[in-house]
Structure 1
Amino acid sequence: MAQNAKARRILLGSAAAVVVVAGGAGFMVHSMLDPEALRTKAIAAIEKQTGRQVRMGVPDLHLLPSLSLSVRDVGLSDMAGGAYADMVTADRLEATVGLMALLHHEIRLDDVKLDHPVVHLERTAQGQANWRLSPAGPQATATAQPATTQAASDWKVQIGSIRVANADLDWDDQMTGSKGKVVLDHANLSGVSGEKPQIDIAGHNDGGGFTLTGYTGSINLTSTARSGWPVALNAAFTSGGQSVGQVALSGSVADPDHMKGYNLALDGSIASLKAIEAVVPGLNLPDVRRLSLRAKVVDGSAADKEGSTPLLDSLHLDTGAVDAGPYVTGLTLQGLSIDAPGPKDTVTIRTQGQWEGQGLKLSGTLGSLQQVEAAVLSHLSDPLPLSLDVSGDPGSMRIAGTLGGSRAVVNVTASAGHLALPHGAGIDHLEASTHLVSEDNGAHFQLSDIAVKSTQVSLQGALDLSVHGGHDGVPLLAGTLDASWLNADALMAQGAKADATGVTAPAQETAAGDTLPFAELRKQDVDLRLSVGQMEFEGDDYHNALTHVVLRNGRLTIDPIQAQGTGRSISGQLTVDASGSVPTISGTIGTLVLPATWVESRAGLSNMVQGALQVVGTGRAQGNTRTELRNSMTGHMGVSMVNGTVSGSALGAMLGDTARGALGSGPIALRCFGVHMDMADGRANIDTIGVQTNALTVTGHGTVGMVTQDLDLHLVPQVLIGGTGASLPLRVGGTLSAPRPKMDAGSDGRYAIGLLLGGSGKNTAIADPCPATLKAAREGQPGPQPTTAAPRAADASTSGGAAAILGNSKGAPNLKKAAGLLKGLGILK
């Protein structure tokens, strides 16, 4: 009985204790579950853990079937100076709450669901990222008193899992230039507070979609004291409903917040690299198809230094088509392969494709991965061995030696059956070689033993480039090139092609294009001696050609300019002084031969004549633009040509109806052409004009505006058809591009129309303007003569071949035939 009584007392005491404890615990839980108190504690805890301001509504608490809450209008502020007020916002948050954790001042949220969250991620050019959070002390809120906040700050918020649907995510990474926006269809994170949180994300944008699955190390946005943070992620990309690639990333990262101390393996298979850029814009990826990549990447930077340096421990890259045009103009690759099994293994390269429409192949080796990376990071201050063979449709080239370092030595050899040059030119049967030495970490280059042999050119020489050897440290290029043979006609880039009529409109000069690049002369110094033993230029043969080009401190001197030709000697000198604010051009030309198309294009003229122009005279001009130079030009000049061609349509436009019907529009053989002028005050005063073809002879004089190109020419054209001819004085106004010819009356107001009346019998020579024209245009210098005889008209049996001047004669034999000719030419109506 005593024992039973004792047992009852113990049972009653225990029950009473349970009731007291349960009552006290219930009171504590009830006080903790006060919605406003819970909100205050949560805000204070999150602000302390993140260093950011938090916004949330009053939570709704639900006890059954388990303790849960829902909160509207949730927000986490952006970093100081960020682009947005809030980095993260959500319309609603729902989660279950760990009841027992509340007893330990911890708000543990599981199965967190966010309704339409919006996340803004940004990183400045200096590397400040808004996703890096900094723990801070308690922050006062609008609804909490300081004492309450202090007490609430002792609490902590932990998240177990998160489920997100229909989230908007945008980013602006100014460090990498990546910027874009995606919709997260779902983002499920489990074990968020554990050691290996699991990740399952799917999203899309207008360019395509992506998935990301796997796990990482613990997610702690406020701590960088992590070692061996694991990563195992798989990403897949789609575009247009089709898979375009997948990438697997595995390994570890010591400091994921700053991406330092990583050791990662990368394995990817991508159908289109550019398509991935559409899903993740701003990456500026090259256009590569069928890419297969396996690589190991480690961080080569010191742990105590800012930033990271990715280095490769191994690499296997194999691709399909690659558009390399943005990097090398005109280059496309059908495939590219790069292999290096380890950091000390040689890098092998193989590729094939097309450059400027011609097939090519490249194969060879560089050095080890370590050597390649060191050379790249040091901008070739460290040496890089290489041996590369390039072959293709044009020919082959081999480059072997060592690049970079304090002294680099490379041998280059090349050969080609036919090497196409711009504008239809080319080199045949080419064999070339040189020896390149680079010293002082690329500050000094020597090209020695230069040897080039081909059908069009044979030369040898040496060049020396000192990067800082010129005045004020500008580059200095010096050397000597000696050619035993040069076919300049085959090597010269041709100018604008004439159309079917033989005329090409001159290039129009814009206001910006009128300014000449004189400033470029101050960016480099040059000292080159060039000699040619035998040269073909504009159809003529020359020998003993020599010139010396010196550019120093913006002053360019080409002296001498000399060569011996057939019937003429080329001589002259040219100076361009751009050392001051107003450049000056001056020169003296004993004789200079230039292509007519080259001269006309730079003078802004149509392609009127073709052939070799012989230029003589002296001139001086100053200014920064073509307009200023033309306006200031002074001196005298003669331009002449023999045995060339002239455009019939251009002559017709200049001479009007007098010649248009007889000449046609195509090119016409030109027996001689000559012009001599004095230049001053923006005008060219032409004292001699002479042109002769088989059907036309023109003489005259006049003036031309150097800038306006306005005309005031007085011409006497003589047109021949069969044994009949006619001459008509013209006055040509308008401009060079739009001449306006009209009949030129004499002082008595009458038009001196001259006739050559044909008949049978001995031919009579027409007055030949070529000797006097060429003598004046060449200023007495020698030059070739026309290879054809002057045209002849039939001797008029009744007039003795004399011209009958209409208006001065009441009649003339064969007047009916002459009148018919004049009417056909539009002179008579």
Structure 2
Amino acid sequence: MAQNGNAKRILIGGAVALVVIAGGGGLVLKSMLDPDAVRAKAIAALEKQTGRQVRMGALEFSVFPTLSLSVKDVGLSDMAGGAYTDMVTADRLQASVGLMALLHHEIQLDGLKLDHPVIHLERTKQGMANWRLTPTGAQATAKPDAKTQQAASDWKVQIGSIRISNADVDWDDRLSGSKGKVALDHINLTDVDGSKPEIDVAGHNDTGSFTLAGHTGSINLTSTARAGWPVALKAAFKAGGEQVGQLALDGTVADPDHMKGYNVTVDGNIASLRAIDAFVPGLNLPDVRRLTLKANVVDGSAADKEGSTPLLNSLHLDTGAVDAGQYLSGLTLQGLSIDAPGPKDTVTINSQGQWQGKGLKLTGTLGSLQQLDAAVMSHLAEALPLSLDLSGDPGSLRVAGTLGGSRAVVNVTASAGQLPLPNGAVLDHLDASTHLVSEDNGAHFQLSDLVVKSTQLALKGGLDLSVHGGVGGVPLVSGTIDASWLNADALMGPPAQADAKKVTAAPAQAKANDEALPFDELRKLDMDLRLTVAQMEFEGDTYRNALTHINLRNGVLKVDPLQAEGTGRRLSGQFEVDATAGKTPTVSGTIGTLVLPAAWLESKAGLSNMVQGALQVVGSVRTQGNTRTELRNGMNGHLGVSMVNGTVSGSALGELLGDAARGALGSGPIALRCFGLHMAMANGTANVDTIGVQTNALTVTGKGTVGMVSQALDLHLVPQLMISGTGASVPLRVGGTLSAPRPKMDAGSDGRYAIGLLLGGSNSNAVTDPCPATLKAAREGATGPEPTTAAPKAEGGANGAAGLLNNSKASPDVKKVGGLLKGLGILK
């Protein structure tokens, strides 16, 4: 027991002695270290090793339990020409100091900690990166005397491990086009000065978080020579608190600064591709679910050339559901797989999904990975074999041949029971085929043996595209299309339903009218197309032997001839737009007879929902200008517009003729027996010499003026309103604008109103049929179809306005006329 007690006393005494000796040694060491001198040595050494200016605050030493230092306000300047003053700043730096290394003029830091650093990373398009440091003989910022300066420059700073917390990092990589910022919760780097540094990073932004772990080869910030520099990293991503994907990168990189000389295997999976937006916003990626990717990627570029060329040595891509609606409306895929085990293996594609609610299946091949790489990198200057088959409920499509190369040949065949078109129309029982040849490395394309057959359309022909064949090297499109049958009404889709409650004249859009029209687009393409149609259904009529020739050359567009034979009329006309560079664009046309949809013509005139049917247009017009306002103001010529057997909006007539007519006509569509107007245009005004409208309930004749730009009205109208064979005639003067007409009674030169009653039994009271004279004037003597219904007639009734009020036995309809006159304020 005594021996044990002695042993304990000896051990305790020895420990106390060691503590005393260590503490005393620490005090001696602290008294020997000059913080200002060490700070100067550290700054000089870092500036020499990095080639940048270094900023440090006051340095403090602690010797217990180990020698360590602490410094506030740390900064490392940006590269020359960089966007920031400092590339790195930090609130505080702390680290343990290797004591023995000081004897060898080294400041060896281990467990280095940086509090809240702010790091700005940037790389130019030429690959110059601000994190690449250039050793120089730069002297310390804090200038010691010459002797101390020389001694300090011989010192070195070595770092063993780094721990960074609460870091803000932003980057602008113009070489790859990546830009953004992220908050890093921590960065742990161990064995920094060794051959296999370990990396542990965690970070987040407003919508997601990530972790990164792994190792690389030795870190040398002063050299780009890294042949075979290894990299093995794994990243995991979260968004909304849920795991959304992970990615592993394993391989070697020769020159990371310039993204060259890599050979890496990428292996990852992502729950949703759009989750990447949480980390790299603005990519506009498609909605792809459960994506799995494994690929070997190598750099195929020469070491002495700028940029890199990523090539695939192997590829496996597999996905779940894909919403491809942004590329083709209504397209969704249940899955997509692309496989190529090696660079010389064929790329196979398999997918299935739905389009517009109908099932689809895609199978095919794209040649080998080497061929695919070469075709993509050469922009299809290299040939790519392909064979794709698309089949399903909508129909089938087969594309086979080669794309790209000096001469590419592709055969395309398609069929569909019913193919929906974007405007709501459909093609029924469709069969189509064509033969595509590309020559001169894509400079010349020929689409030959084009055949399309369906219920609505049957045509054949060919097209030719020369990419630089036009004036000044613009593309040139030429060809001939011959249609044996064309149902234009069906292909235009269902007509828009007019809303009777809407205002029937659209307000003038001054701002839009003052915007320059895209006439310069006519100088970006040359065209020479000839189109023929043996038989065509258009606006409810049948036309035969339709022919047009479209010629666009050096900004001058000519459509001549434009002709067809219809029922009771012959279509003919020509149209020209001269948009030659340096000149004010000129638009001109001579129309023997054309038929245009009323809705289309109304939209161009700033109107809506007034009439429905086929408008016959004749005349000659010329104008010039860069905007719609200038074109309207500059119109000169004459124009006639007519229609028979269409419909007119009751609300439109009500707006034009006033409250009493609106109440009698209602707001819905009214059968239109005939409509016509004829005008002469000059000095921004249309002088309308003929206006004629007739329905079963209403006849309107008149004349007046309309402002081409202001749409100001000054119309003198004589409406004759019929109620069951009895009615009244009231002259009106309509002012205001097309969007807001203001009708009022129109007095004669003697100040009296020429009010008439439409009563049977007297020729003077008969309803005049305006259609023959109106149509003749509006058609400028050209032929056209006649109304299919007879003109309305006034039937029996009392004579005289007083009889309408005083004859107690008058019919209810006659009394309605009296009420109409009272509503107009004519009778008391």
- TM-score, with structure 2 as normaliser: 0.91
Alignment partner, residue 8 of structure 1:
none
Q: Is 1:267 the counterpart of 2:267 in the alignment?
A: yes
SS in 1 for 2:374: helix
Report the Cα offset of residue 510 of structure 1.
Answer: 4.8
Partners of 1:53 and 1:306 in 2: how far apart? Answer: 30
Query: Which of 583, 590, 605 is the aligned partner of 1:588?
Result: 590
Report the Cα offset of residue 496 of structure 1.
Answer: 5.0
Alignment partner, residue 485 of structure 1:
485
1:248-647 maps to which residues of 2 (within 5 A)?
A: 248-281=248-281, 285-325=285-325, 331-354=331-354, 360-492=360-492, 496-500=496-500, 506=506, 509-514=509-514, 515-579=516-580, 580-647=582-649
Q: Which moved more, 1:456-465 or 1:743-752?
A: 743-752
Q: Is 2:381–2:404's contact at 8 Å kept on the other side of the alignment?
A: yes
Partners of 1:394 and 1:259 in 2: how far apart? Answer: 46
One-letter amino acid of the structure 1 residue matched with residue 575 of structure 2: L
Q: Is 2:30–2:61's contact at 8 Å kept on the other side of the alignment?
A: no
One-letter amino acid of the structure 2 residue matched with residue 418 of structure 1: Q
Report the Cα offset of residue 673 of structure 1.
Answer: 1.0
Residue deviations 1:113-140, cap 9 Å, x none?
Answer: 2233332222234432111111111424
Partners of 1:817 and 1:311 in 2: how far apart? Answer: 87
SS in 2 for 1:516: coil
Report the Cα offset of residue 548 of structure 1.
Answer: 0.9
SS in 1 for 2:549: strand
Partners of 1:280 and 1:488 in 2: how far apart? Answer: 48
Q: Is 1:525–1:552's contact at 8 Å kept on the other side of the alignment?
A: yes
Change in Cα spacing, 1:402 to 1:610, as seen in structure 2 (3 Å) is: same
Q: Which moved more, 1:439-448 or 1:142-151?
A: 142-151
1:191-202 maps to which residues of 2 (within 5 A)?
A: 191-202=191-202
Report the Cα offset of residue 327 of structure 1.
Answer: 5.1
Query: Which of 652, 655, 660 is the aligned partner of 2:654?
Result: 652
Residue deviations 1:50-84, cap 9 Å, x none?
Answer: 11112223433344443333333322222122232
SS in 1 for 2:223: coil
SS in 2 for 1:452: strand
Q: Is 1:434–1:448's contact at 8 Å kept on the other side of the alignment?
A: yes
Residue deviations 1:661-720, cap 9 Å, x none?
Answer: 221111111111111122222112122111111111111122211211111111111111
Partners of 2:807 and 2:113 in 1: how far apart? Answer: 114
Partners of 1:550 and 1:762 in 2: how far apart? Answer: 57
Residue deviations 1:574-596, cap 9 Å, x none?
Answer: 12111152111222111111111
Change in Cα spacing, 1:107 to 1:723, as seen in structure 2 (3 Å) is: closer
One-letter amino acid of the structure 2 residue matched with residue 707 of structure 1: V
Partners of 2:683 and 2:626 in 1: how far apart? Answer: 17
Runs of 4+ deviating beyond 6 Å: 25-32, 761-765, 809-813
Q: Is 1:762–1:794's contact at 8 Å kept on the other side of the alignment?
A: no
Change in Cα spacing, 1:710 to 1:275, as seen in structure 2 (3 Å) is: same
Q: Is 1:757–1:814's contact at 8 Å kept on the other side of the alignment?
A: no
SS in 1 for 2:176: coil
Query: Which of 820, 824, 827 is the aligned partner of 1:824?
Result: 820
Partners of 1:106 and 1:452 in 2: how far apart? Answer: 83
Report the Cα offset of residue 204 of structure 1.
Answer: 2.1
One-letter amino acid of the structure 2 residue matched with residue 559 of structure 1: D
Report the Cα offset of residue 251 of structure 1.
Answer: 1.2
Q: Is 2:430–2:454's contact at 8 Å kept on the other side of the alignment?
A: yes
Change in Cα spacing, 1:523 to 1:315, as seen in structure 2 (3 Å) is: same
Change in Cα spacing, 1:588 to 1:102, as seen in structure 2 (3 Å) is: same
Partners of 2:509 and 2:339 in 1: how far apart? Answer: 51
Partners of 1:732 and 1:821 in 2: how far apart? Answer: 22
Q: Is 1:501–1:667's contact at 8 Å kept on the other side of the alignment?
A: no
Residue deviations 1:266-285, cap 9 Å, x none?
Answer: 11121133323323556665
Alignment partner, residue 790 of structure 1:
791
One-letter amino acid of the structure 2 residue matched with residue 378 of structure 1: S
Partners of 1:735 and 1:806 in 2: how far apart? Answer: 36
One-letter amino acid of the structure 2 residue matched with residue 570 of structure 1: L
Change in Cα spacing, 1:565 to 1:416, as seen in structure 2 (3 Å) is: same
Q: Is 2:703–2:717's contact at 8 Å kept on the other side of the alignment?
A: yes
Residue deviations 1:635-673, cap 9 Å, x none?
Answer: 122111111111111111111244222211111111111
Query: Which of 736, 753, 756 is the aligned partner of 2:755?
Result: 753
Change in Cα spacing, 1:513 to 1:173, as seen in structure 2 (3 Å) is: farther
Q: Is 2:513–2:628's contact at 8 Å kept on the other side of the alignment?
A: no
Q: Is 1:178–1:282's contact at 8 Å kept on the other side of the alignment?
A: no
SS in 2 for 1:645: strand
Aligned-pair identity (%): 75
Query: Could you list the runs of 5+ residues in structure 1 that have no partner in the other structure?
Result: 1-24
Change in Cα spacing, 1:329 to 1:127, as seen in structure 2 (3 Å) is: farther
Q: Which moved more, 1:677-686 or 1:112-121?
A: 112-121
Report the Cα offset of residue 816 of structure 1.
Answer: 9.4
Change in Cα spacing, 1:390 to 1:748, as seen in structure 2 (3 Å) is: same
Report the Cα offset of residue 296 of structure 1.
Answer: 0.8
Partners of 2:534 and 2:372 in 1: how far apart? Answer: 45
Report the Cα offset of residue 94 of structure 1.
Answer: 2.4
SS in 2 for 1:424: coil
Partners of 1:267 and 1:621 in 2: how far apart? Answer: 64
Alignment partner, residue 741 of structure 2:
739
Q: Is 2:95–2:110's contact at 8 Å kept on the other side of the alignment?
A: yes
Alignment partner, residue 240 of structure 1:
240
Q: Is 2:720–2:727's contact at 8 Å kept on the other side of the alignment?
A: yes
Q: Is 2:43–2:140's contact at 8 Å kept on the other side of the alignment?
A: no
- TM-score, with structure 1 as normaliser: 0.91
SS in 2 for 1:134: coil
Partners of 1:320 and 1:243 in 2: how far apart? Answer: 17
Report the Cα offset of residue 766 of structure 1.
Answer: 3.0
Q: Is 1:486–1:534's contact at 8 Å kept on the other side of the alignment?
A: yes
1:37-186 maps to which residues of 2 (within 5 A)?
A: 37-186=37-186
Q: Is 1:363–1:388's contact at 8 Å kept on the other side of the alignment?
A: yes
Query: Could you list the runs of 5+ residues in structure 2 that have no partner in the other structure?
Result: 1-24
One-letter amino acid of the structure 2 residue matched with residue 732 of structure 1: V
Report the Cα offset of residue 264 of structure 1.
Answer: 0.8
Change in Cα spacing, 1:347 to 1:644, as seen in structure 2 (3 Å) is: same
Partners of 1:344 and 1:816 in 2: how far apart? Answer: 93
Change in Cα spacing, 1:250 to 1:464, as seen in structure 2 (3 Å) is: same
Partners of 1:820 and 1:225 in 2: how far apart? Answer: 101
One-letter amino acid of the structure 1 residue matched with residue 546 of structure 2: A
Change in Cα spacing, 1:661 to 1:177, as seen in structure 2 (3 Å) is: same
Change in Cα spacing, 1:276 to 1:739, as seen in structure 2 (3 Å) is: closer
Partners of 1:806 and 1:487 in 2: how far apart? Answer: 57
Partners of 2:410 and 2:694 in 1: how far apart? Answer: 58
Report the Cα offset of residue 509 of structure 1.
Answer: 3.0
Q: Is 2:127–2:257's contact at 8 Å kept on the other side of the alignment?
A: no
Report the Cα offset of residue 600 of structure 1.
Answer: 0.8
One-letter amino acid of the structure 2 residue matched with residue 694 of structure 1: N
Q: Is 2:724–2:813's contact at 8 Å kept on the other side of the alignment?
A: no
Residue deviations 1:184-223, cap 9 Å, x none?
Answer: 3222211111110111222222222211111110011112
SS in 2 for 1:490: helix
One-letter amino acid of the structure 2 residue matched with residue 721 of structure 1: I
